[in-house]
Amino acid sequence: MRKSGFSMVEVLIFTALFSLIFVGITTAMTTALRNTKSSERRILATHFAQELKDWLKGQKEADFGSFPKSGTYCFNTSPITTWGPNDNCSGAYTLGTAPNAIFKRYVVFSNGSSTQVNVNATVEWMELSVVNSVPLNTQFTVWE
């Protein structure tokens, strides 16, 4: 009679082990998923920062005289076709293609002179209500 069926303790141990393993697997998978998603966004953000830098370099090569020497510009479109509005995108995370239209991108120019300017480009996005950012700082110089 004792050998037929499980005792309460056996069932409890099984349930405890099963739930521990289940919670473990789920946590591992969720963490892996979050990390993979995070690196995908970081790859995209790095590309957007580089894209802006390449475009700005082109503008600088074309005409440094009219190139901005100070101020902030927002570039929430890709590919970049023209200068964006004079702000840091004011919280509009619209850069990128769905479902990754979650970025904002802006550039700040400082210490400008007739031959050089400091360029601080930033791509930002929200992840679990934390702001992540990829900064890209450089200095443009003309040698002519």
The residues that touch other proteins, with contacts defined as CB under 8 A, are: 1, 4-5, 22, 25-26, 29-30, 32-33, 36-37, 39-40, 43-44, 46-47, 50-51, 54-55, 57-59, 61-63, 78-80, 97, 99, 144
Closest CA to 96 of 118, 71, 124, 119: 124
CA atoms within 13 A on the CB side of 46: 6
Amino acid at 141: T
| Closest CB 70 distance from other proteins, rounded Å | 22
46 vs 133, beta carbon nearer other proteins: 46
| Closest CB 79 distance from other proteins, rounded Å | 4
Residue 121 in tokens: 């480009």
6 vs 87, beta carbon nearer other proteins: 6
What span, in angstroms and rounded, lies between the C-alpha atoms of 47 and 55?
Answer: 12
Residue 127 CB partners (closer than 8 Å, separation 6+): 38, 41
| Closest CB 118 distance from other proteins, rounded Å | 19
